[in-house]
Structure formats: C-alpha cells, structure tokens
Copies of this chain bind each other. A is one copy, B any other.
Amino acid sequence: MSRIARRWYFNARPKATIEGDTLVLREEPLPALREGDILVRTLYLSLDATNRVWISDWDIYMEPVHVGEPMRGFVVGEVVQSRNPAFAPGTLVAGLHTWSDYFVTDAQGFQSFARVAGLPLADTFGILTVAGPTAHYGLLSVGQPKPGDTVVVTAAAGAVGSLVGQLAKLKGCRAVGIAGSREKCRWLTDELGFDAAVNYRAEPVLECLRRCCPNGIDVHFENVGGEALDAGLTLMNNFGRVVVCGLISTYNSTGTAAPGPYMFRNVIMRRLTVRGFVILDHLDEYPRMTAELAQWMLEGKLRYRLHIVDGLENAAEALNLLYTGGNEGKLMVRIGAER
C-alpha cells in the first residue's frame, strides 16, 4: 500500500499578491521507489523571496514553475527509505525540491546535509542554505567593500539584509540599513551593530539616508527596488558598486510595468558598477563561504532570527509575509519533527 503525501501545487498564476487559489495543497500517493531513488521526510522548507519569481510570467534566471506543477523550494529532510547506496536511511539531505511532507526523488541535485556542531539544524539550514551564502557572495564578492566604506542595504531586517550589514561591520565598514518598522530599525542598530537604520515607512528615505551616510555610499546592496534604490543611487560615491540581489517590490507585478530607477543616469555620473547575481550560480563557492559563516555564527559575530511557521498547510500563507515585511528573520516552515 503506497504512502499518501501532501504537496503544494502551482494552480493559477497570481495577478499580484499570492491569492487563495494560487497554490493549492493536494494529497497524492507516493510512487514506489525505483533503483537509485530515495524517500525523504521533509523537516524544513525555506521560504525565499525568489519563490514568487518562479511563478511569475517573466523570463527568469532558471526554469520557472509552470501552472499545474508542484511548487518548488529549498528543503532539508531525512531519508526514510533508500534504493540509492549514497544515501542510507537516516541521512539528512538538502536540495531544491517541492513543498511536500514526503517525496520520492532520484536524488539528483541532493546532497548530504552537514550538521554544524553547536548549531541547531534549523539554524544551519535556515542560514547556510540560501540567506548566508547570498549575503556573503553578494556583499564580499560582488560588492567588494573596503574598510571604511559605507554599505547600505535594503530589506535590512530580512534574512539576507541583516547578514549583509553584519558582514559589512566585520569587514570594517559603516553599515546602514533600510527597513520597514521602528522595531526592525532598533533591532538592527541595538542588537546587530548597524551604525544607522532608516524606517522607510515613517521617514523620507532620501533625506534620512543622506544624514546616515555623511560620506556617501560606496556599496549599495539592493533587495527591494523602488524608492530606496533611487535614494541609494542618488548618494553613491564615484566608482561605487550596486549589488542587485533582489527587487522584491516588483515581484508581485506582471509584464514590464515597473519602471527602473529614476536615477539610472548616475550609473554614468558616478561611474557605477551595477551587478546582478543569483546564488545558484556559485555553488562551487559554498564550502568556503559556509565554513566562514558557520564560524562567525558560532562566535556570535553573526546574529539572526528564525521565523518558523509550523505545518506544511500554512506554507502558502506564510510566503506572503515576505512581500508585506511581516516576517521577523529567516522565514521557514517546519514540516516534520526532528528525531
């Protein structure tokens, strides 16, 4: 008798925010394992802003999720049955798969998940799978900050942004965050060591940012797009770097409606380098980056919050938190209990 699994499907393309019928949860029997397959019990699902991009009607950086297909996400789980000699039952594995409580895979693209001694599984998975490497590669490899530089980051209280500011501090920079509430701004400055933070919902962004960056901006790390990007471009120093990691403010739109930054001309006027990246292109750098990040986490030099939502059935609603700024820290769904 086959086991019944629950799995989210991409049901109907959203016009803007994810609606009730965008993603639907279905029950389905799991297939029998073929030679090379593993059966995985999911423990955690990572929710990332880019999930929304995968179900957009845009021409994106990888194969999108098509209507009718299972929804995709980064997961960690435990092998419960195996016909693959590389993955014994009990092994923890992580990779890009579907939003489901159990799944069968040929294990292509899956790797043994390395626990970090001293760190809970949720922390290791939550920070070292996407957010940490994204912050590390984006700030250090793309942004190339030098000691004394001013680094500005948007969505600064988000999973990536909060790490970017702390990495900037570790590299001897001035870190300025832009976030969406007074509480978030306080967390950045009082607990994470940011030098300043701007609450974009309450304050005139350009004016406040100018005050927070008396020496201009050398590295602008963009997660959002829109007004904050324009403010950053306005204040960039000559030969500055603009790291384009995300444009979450545009993800809930269709077609080409969103105009680019009005201060685009400063790409010339300030001789800027504007570079976009996708962390999946840099998997070869993961060992070095995750080792550094884990060390800083253990030493308390990188602090973070995990925002864990319980239950696969709550995944779709939870995803919307990313676009309203409702999450506090790295957003993930706990699907199965750790043993």
Binding site for B on A (CB under 8 A): 58-61, 225, 230, 238, 244-247, 250, 256-278, 281
Contacts and interface: CB of A to CB of B under 8 A. Distances in A.
Contact of A276 (B58, B269, B278): B269
A71 B138 CA distance: 43
Contacts of A278: 268, 271
10 contacts: A61-B270, A256-B262, A260-B261, A260-B262, A260-B263, A269-B276, A271-B275, A272-B275, A272-B276, A274-B274
B276 A268 contact: yes
Nearest to A246: B268
A273 B270 contact: no
A246 B265 CA distance: 8
Nearest to A59: B269
Contacts of A270: 61, 276
A254 to B, nearest CB: 12
Contacts of A260: 259-264
8 A-B pairs closest in CB distance: A260-B260, A260-B264, A259-B259, A267-B276, A268-B276, A274-B274, A260-B261, A256-B262
Contacts of A264: 225, 247, 258, 260-261, 264
Contact of A275 (B238, B259, B262, B273): B273
B267 A275 contact: yes
A250 B225 CA distance: 21
Nearest to A267: B276
B247 A268 contact: yes
Nearest to A61: B269
A60 B230 CA distance: 16
Nearest to A238: B61
Contact of A247 (B61, B225, B259, B265): B265
